[in-house]
Amino acid sequence: MWREDIRASVAHSRMLGAQGIIDAKDVAAIEAGLEEIAKEIEENQFEWKTEYEDVHMNIEARLIEKVGEAGKRLHTARSRNDQVATDIRLWTRQALGRVIEQSDRLIAVICARAAEEVDTLMPGYTHLQRAQPIRLALHLLAWCEMLERDRGRYHDTIVRLNECPLGAAALAGTSFPIDREATARELGFRQPTRNSIDAVSDRDFLLESLAALAIQAVHLSRMAEELVLWSTQEFGFVEMADRFATGSSIMPQKKNPDMAELIRGKAGRVIGDLVNLLVVMKGLPLAYNRDMQEDKFPIFDAFDTVEQSLAIMRGMVATLVFRRERMRKALDEGFIEATEIADWLTRRGVPFRESHQIVGKIVRFAMAQGKKLSDLSLDEFKEFSPLFDASIYEIMLPERVVELKQSLGGTAKEQVLALLSDFHSRLLDRGIQPEEVWRAERKQE
């Protein structure tokens, strides 16, 4: 957090100068010294010393070496308690901005792929059993909905964390005539924190961040699990690019979806980071306690892990080969037109629960005969209900079934295109062109 520490120190010194607490000469010396220190760190010329305990004391000690008495005045009207609380808020705010951007880029790639697959039909699943025909695009856009909620949680967290603790000092404020609004404005915060005790002891924003990261890690894990399943010989719906898969050490025929499996596995790590900090915080009395030093490890790890997972998932989705014929063929098995037959009867006056029972009997009959529903004769259908006529065969076609689902958010083409258009507009409003992001990912292949 050295960048954040230097930035906050510059803002603090300027405020001290503006309030007449230190003179302008000291402010200039402090700023120049901190600028030199930043350059040393960037060029890997800075010597970090363990005797100074942390980043804050290392930078302050080096500042005093450089500018003498002026450096000693920097810590006037602040404590390491409000200093670190400010630094970690600055760092987390920026990190949340990065995962929002990364989430948008993954949404962009998925939308670009979905636009190519609007007419690709596949089975939709419940309980991992074939359920009803859907468009592949609708399934992909369901991933986008998950990611959209993720970015919303990150944004909400930024809104709540965007208050500046600087000036709360150790826990009780300070007797110096500081201007907390000025430092808050300079550091881009909405306002100063309102309670000095809460300011130095609050880590809710880290817990919220970790919770949002854990939820997104779970979403990525679910997506990864589907890609693992779809890449099996049993499904055969997708083939992954070679850079996201590996071979077996002894079985030459295998292509293992290792990157998807690793994303799936990393979710446990991020969930562990959340639990880690929850346990650290659960028994702490107000105000600051040294236990809070343990907040850095889980927050840094969780952000790193999720950012890496987002980047890998983006590359995997961008380079997937969808096996459309295999998806379409899967619609011929599993009696997935059964619900539509029940709806057909219901539209002709049969109560749905009764329609459900009738079609259940038809399915059992077809299974016993070793037939698909579309193979049954009209006379066989009429044995179960006299309402059946030749039009029943038309609604058993998957292309017909998906078009009947015209309800908002359904799998009819009009509804899927509306979803795509909405996501496309959102991305454009954020300055992102889905096709450009997709092309950029494919160029790495």
- How high does pLDDT run on average in the chain? 94
pLDDT recorded at residue 334: 75
* pLDDT at residue 193, as a whole number: 98
At 46, give phi and psi (nearest 5°). Answer: -85, 135
> 339 pLDDT band (50/70/90 cuts)?
confident
CATH class of 2-76: mainly alpha
Q: Point out the catalytic residue in the list 56, 79, 127, 196.
A: 127
Q: Is 248 a catalytic residue?
A: yes
Handedness of CA 190, 193, 199, 204 (dihedral sign): negative
Task: Return the CATH fold of 338-404.
Answer: Ribonucleotide Reductase Protein R1; domain 1 (1.10.40)
- pLDDT of 307 > 80? The answer is yes
Is 127 considered catalytic here?
Answer: yes
- Cβ pair 145, 219 in contact under 8 A: no
Lowest mean pLDDT segment, chosen from 136-145, 328-337, 384-393: 328-337
- Domain map of the chain by residue range? 2-76, 81-116+135-178+187-324, 338-404
**Both tokens of residue 309?**
């997972």
pLDDT at 247: 62
Q: Is this model's pTM higher than 0.85 or not?
A: yes
Q: Which of 155, 248, 374, 421 is catalytic?
A: 248
Half-sphere exposure of 202 (CA within 13 A, CB side): 21
User: Residue 409: helix, strand or coil by DSSP?
Assistant: coil
pLDDT at 224 over 90: yes
Q: Please list the alpha-helical segments (H only) found in 162-293.
A: 180-186, 196-201, 204-230, 258-281
Residue 248 has pLDDT above 70, yes or no: no
Can you read off the two tokens belonging to residue 344?
């057909």
Return phi, psi of residue 257, to 5°. Answer: -80, 60
CATH number of 81-116+135-178+187-324: 1.10.10.10, 3.40.605.10, 1.20.200.10, 1.10.150.120?
1.20.200.10
